[in-house]
Amino acid sequence: MDLRYTQAEQSFRTGLRTWLADILPSLPSKPAPNDWPGRRTYDTHWQRLLFDAGYAGVDWPVEGGGRGSSPVEQLIFKEELERAHAPYVGVNFVGLLHAGPTVIAEGTPEQRRRYLPPILKGDEVWCQGFSEPDAGSDLASLRTRAVRDGDEYVVTGSKIWTSHAEVADYCELLVRTGTEDSRHRGITWLIMPMDSVGVEVRPLTTIAGSAEFAELFLDGVRIPVSNRVGDENDGWRVTMVTLSFERGTAFVGDLLEAIELLSESVALAHRTGAWSDPGVRRQAGHLKAELDALWALTKRNVSQAARTGVPGIGGTVFKLAYTETRQKLGEFSLSLLGRAGLAAHDSEGLDGLGSLPAEAMVEDWLRGISLTIAAGTSQIQRNIVGERILGLPKEPTRGL
């Protein structure tokens, strides 16, 4: 067990840090949270800057046009970006982390040539059409139907939780090509252009008040068969290939952000006088222990990925622990705000206390509620730990 970085890893860090210090002041100001066209422009501009500097697709293999960095370099990359408060991956998320890697692994040479470079350059934005109103945790029960008509599929159905749908160019779409009850054996992975006739996007408003994601309604959408990635009815396997893509680094930015939020909460507690309360101090101390441990676990997962190529089960364990710690941290910061935390509004505190950071903290608390739901609920994650790591008997897939 060695926590020291090698010379090569350190020089990768130094080079990146220098570049970030140089480039970040040149960025335009951030668009408003619900200004999606503005956010697309901002995020894709950042992606272009990364591309020009050779940092696009740090985690993509070289044959896919990426940098092919080691998992440890990916960790350093995400750590440095977060510490420098660089823009998030934003609207490039699905392209860089799901669709692109899938096309790299399973696409034809033609598909790779066509779709990969625009993702890396920030020219094209992707969204994800996997979940459906009736297929959430039980994704394999999805019903959006694709019927073959010559060299096209005709697709009808609906998708949900599609982030960035309004500004996306393409959608990675899972459709039912097998019989109704074929489950994971009858699913196909398609590339759907978002400007196709019959695609309707209906934004959903979250409990945080933002239009984060959308519902997609597909009515007889015609998608060329050449847009199929992998074989017909082999889409489930194609999807699973990329599940292990984020080699233990998926939450690096979030975790560092949480560490910063804890520092801000400690600063707030000092300003309000709450720090003199031993209960408050112990809560803060405990959160520090948890966040430090999660940082150690990240390094363990990344190291495991570096050795074996896959993150192993550590990713599931991490998500279960991190999401709960993050929610506890959210509660902690809100309790420090007291009634000033009842609105996402930076109020002036009494007696020259100065402005209270309620906007960011309330926003964070609200967003935190989604963490134990998104990308596999904590209940599903516990099933995975129970069944795949511990070998406990499986849940029945239908009717008890």
Q: Which residues bind another protein (CB under 8 A)?
A: 1-6, 9, 72, 75, 262-263, 266-267, 270, 275, 278, 281-286, 288-290, 292-297, 299-300, 302-304, 306-307, 314, 317, 320-321, 379, 381-383, 385-387, 389-395
- Among residues 147, 278, 114, the alpha carbon closest in space to that of 225 is found at 147
- Give the three-class secondary structure for 173: strand
44 or 316, CB closer to another protein?
Answer: 316
Q: Which runs of E-coded beta strand occur in 16-151?
A: 126-129, 145-149
Q: Least distance in Å: CB of 15 to another protein?
A: 17
Q: CA dist 11 to 54, 78, 114, 303, Å? A: 15, 15, 34, 19
| Dist. CA 144–CA 147, nearest whole Å | 10
Dihedral over Cα of 192, 197, 198, 204: its sign: positive
Q: Least distance in Å: CB of 86 to another protein?
A: 20
Phi and psi, residue 33, nearest 5°: -55, -40
56 or 317, CB closer to another protein?
Answer: 317
Q: Least distance in Å: CB of 75 to another protein?
A: 8
Does residue 246 have an active-site annotation?
yes
Where does residue 96 rank: exposed (0-12), middle (13-18), buried (19+ CB within 10 A)?
buried
Q: Least distance in Å: CB of 12 to another protein?
A: 12
185 or 299, CB closer to another protein?
Answer: 299
Q: Least distance in Å: CB of 269 to another protein?
A: 9
User: Which one of 152, 246, 359, 395 is the catalytic residue?
Assistant: 246
Q: Which DSSP letter does residue 194 get?
A: T
Q: CA dist 376 to 12, 116, 323, 351, Å? A: 33, 27, 12, 46
5 or 19, CB closer to another protein?
Answer: 5
How crowded is residue 65: how many other Cβ atoms within 10 Å of its Cβ? 20
| Dist. CA 266–CA 252, nearest whole Å | 21
198 or 285, CB closer to another protein?
Answer: 285
| Dist. CA 1–CA 124, nearest whole Å | 41
Q: Least distance in Å: CB of 106 to another protein?
A: 29
101 or 330, CB closer to another protein?
Answer: 330
SS3 string of 233-286? CEHHHHHHHCCCCCCCCCCHHHHHHHHHHHHHHHHHHHHHCHHHCHHHHHHHHH
Q: Are 83 and 43 in contact (CB under 8 A)?
A: no
| Dist. CA 45–CA 65, nearest whole Å | 19
Q: Least distance in Å: CB of 377 to another protein?
A: 12
147 or 392, CB closer to another protein?
Answer: 392
Q: Are 351 and 272 in contact (CB under 8 A)?
A: no
Active-site positions?
A: 246
